[in-house]
A and B are shown apart, each in its own frame.
Chain A
Amino acid sequence: MVPRPHRIENVRRETHDTYTFDLVPADNAPSMTYSPGQFNMIYVAGIGEVPISISGDPLEAQATVHTVRAAGSVTKVFCGLKRGTIVGLRGPFGTSWPMREAQGSDVVVVAGGIGLAPLRPAIYHLLSYRDNYGRLAILYGARTPHDILFPRELEKWRGRFDLDVEITVDSPGEDWYGRVGVVTTLIPRAHVDPTETVALVCGPEVMIRFTVMSLRDRGISPQNIYVSLERNMKCGIGLCGHCQCGPEFICKDGPVFPYSRVEPFVRVREL
């Protein structure tokens, strides 16, 4: 329960309101090990604590990487912090993307907006162990071209011959010659075999709901669709109940769930 002091080793500006931080233990001990999909509770002294997914490569042990969007009171302060600042970390918490269960299958990764950040460790894993998986497709939707996260990496992945990357924006600028429309429009043409596909989905919950509908229309079973949910997490360890969604605690039973498990609850407005 006690946050472990971490030093901000590096800050990278991804978009106008999103930054990636490399955090290392302040006592120079080895960085934590984690699985793709897990999160940490990040404490900013005097301000508060927020759950942020780890967005780095689990095989790179030097730092714990987090991509943060300045959306609330804690994250707005966090995004203004400089190299050398100390923050507290508790974790890693939660369930991970089903990298082992997906072996042998085609995998489609569907990300919306900042949702690409929690999926990035899964993508790193898929590419590090490429031979263990069938066809791979990354489908990404952003608000505008200026909001596309990790554009250089997306370009690098798109240049590979063993992976499909498709990107769309809701609202293009003047110099955008790519696809326009919501990310669900990319699903019908993803080059995967629906009967042998595992889908990993992360983004705003409305986007998740409609993405799941489109994936099911393609013939992908809800048991093979995994989603990362986000609710108001406070303790991160299943004690306070703030993140409870029906019988599930997002912090300890999630945040990654097979959709079939949470489907009865995500549509209940009171939850």
Chain B
Amino acid sequence: MGTLDSILAEHPFLKGLAPSQIELIAGCASNVRFNKGDYVFREDEEADRFYLIRHGLIALDVFVPQRGPVTIDTIQEGEVLGWSWLFPPYRWHFDARALQLTRAVAFDGKCLREKCDKDSRLGYELVMRFSQIIMQRLQSARLQLLDLYGDTTRK
């Protein structure tokens, strides 16, 4: 197992995958680095990758006219950035910007989709993992909408 294989095998997101599956997806992976302020991707660009963040912090921004970029979420070490590569039309919905020096493993989405088409078991495993993340992020977003710490006397 190469270095990238062992990094991936230890990552919580990929825990439980068979060594052969790790090897398959490692074939679509590479180490990347972003400096503070670098954009990882921009809204409406082709969503051709996703990232496992190994170190650092990424802001998910929405650009709002007259307000500028508004951060709606942050993705930190150990977390996964990006799921638009999974679903047509494969376009990013937000900007992702490094708030500090960030190191990640980037996965080529097209490469992975092709491998998942050939290996449905691998595809199932990845979709189940991404579904879990999507569910957690949706739950958090709903809680954020509640404005829990706001004025409780408002009706």
Contacts and interface: CB of A to CB of B under 8 A. Distances in A.
Interface of A: 71-72, 112-114, 141-143, 147, 168, 170-172, 174, 176-182, 184-185, 189, 203-204, 206-207, 210
Given A143-B147, A204-B152, A206-B146, A179 B140 contact: no
Contacts of B100: 177
Contacts of A142: 149
A206 B149 contact: no
A204 B71 contact: no
B78 A112 contact: no
Contacts of A170: 144, 147-149
B143 A114 contact: no
Nearest to B136: A185
Interface of B: 57, 59, 68, 70-74, 76-78, 99-100, 139-140, 143-144, 146-153
Contact of A143 (B70, B99, B150): B150
Contact of A177 (B76, B78, B99, B144): B99
Contacts of B143: 182, 184, 206-207, 210
A179 B153 CA distance: 28
Given A172-B70, A180-B74, 6 more contacts: A170-B147, A174-B68, A179-B76, A203-B148, A204-B149, A210-B143
B144 A182 contact: yes
Given A184-B140, A184-B143, A189-B76, A114 B153 contact: no
Nearest to B69: A174
A112 B71 contact: no
A105 B71 CA distance: 36
Contacts of A171: 144
Given A113-B148, A182-B143, A207-B148, A176 B153 contact: no
A71 B152 contact: yes
B73 A181 contact: yes
Contacts of B78: 189
A168 B57 CA distance: 12
